[in-house]
Amino acid sequence: MHHYWCLFHVLKAFKGKAKTYLKDQWTEASEQFWTIMYSQEDPMPTLASFTLRWAQVSPGFSDYILHQWVGRIHKWAIFYRTNFCLQNEQTDHQGIHTNNYTESWHRLLKNSYLSHPDRLQIDEVVQILTEEVKSHYHWLQQQVKSGFAGQTSNKFQMRQKLVADAFTPEEMEISGVVCMAITGRYTIFSFSNPTVRQHMVKTSFSRATGKVQLASCTCQHFNRCGKPTLNK
């Protein structure tokens, strides 16, 4: 079983050290490292050249790269997360990275469903997920479908919106995510791999609510569920 590191936190950690060691040159190093991380070809030769190049500027920074990143390249480089046996399709875990969205869901799960004073065993957590969390959301859906409750945003959906609004320009920049807007349409670079995947989002004006609403998105999640997602 392979364990991969969250790309957002990898970039954030690298950026912090680059600023410390390289001062005004940290931007150049961060951009080069970002390219290595998302490379679709074997990144090791490029990483070796990268390390030698910055050793001339800061030996301390070069040592940091060698000890922190070179030996652990399989944990953070996108190249090693690709299943070449399936025509370069990414493995199932791809796109499931730690970010504000998943951290928010984790807080909701802990505070609302797992608020037990003792540490729970994995079988106890699974039981809570299947018997409480799943049944709770199914019950809410049935209430709306039967007409006993209106179609409103639940606590989790409201948290999704708040989390999306909480992404700062700096966090978007770290991840390499770009959003380009044209009237009624937006092109958004994927959070999981912004170098090779973009999504087209269309909006429309609702006369019923007087607000702009999501009309469509080209991501697989929207096509499958008819709902927006944050990290695809």
**pLDDT value of position 151:** 55
**pLDDT value of position 42:** 92
Q: How far apart are the first and last CA of the chain?
A: 23
**pLDDT value of position 159:** 57
Per-residue pLDDT of the chain (232 residues; tens, 9 = 90+): 567 888 888 888 999 999 999 999 999 999 999 999 988 889 999 999 999 999 999 999 999 999 999 999 999 998 887 644 344 444 444 444 555 556 667 777 877 888 777 778 888 888 888 888 888 777 877 776 676 665 555 555 565 565 566 566 666 666 666 777 777 677 776 666 666 667 777 877 777 767 777 778 877 767 666 665 554 4
Structural contact between residues 49 and 9, judged by C-beta atoms closer than 8 angstroms: no
Quote the Cα angle for 194-198-204, to 5°.
Answer: 135
Calpha distance 143→149 (Å, rounded): 5
Structural contact between residues 101 and 231, judged by C-beta atoms closer than 8 angstroms: yes
Quote the Cα angle for 38-8-224, to 5°.
Answer: 80
**pLDDT value of position 83:** 46
Structural contact between residues 33 and 3, judged by C-beta atoms closer than 8 angstroms: no
Three-state secondary structure call for residue 148: coil
**pLDDT value of position 57:** 95
Quote the Cα angle for 76-78-79, to 5°.
Answer: 115
Q: Is the pTM of this model over 0.75?
A: no
Per-residue H/E/C for 142-184: HHHHCCCCCCCCCHHHHHHHHHHHHCCHHHHHHHCCCEEEECC
**pLDDT value of position 136:** 79
Q: How many CB atoms lie within 10 A of CB 74?
A: 14
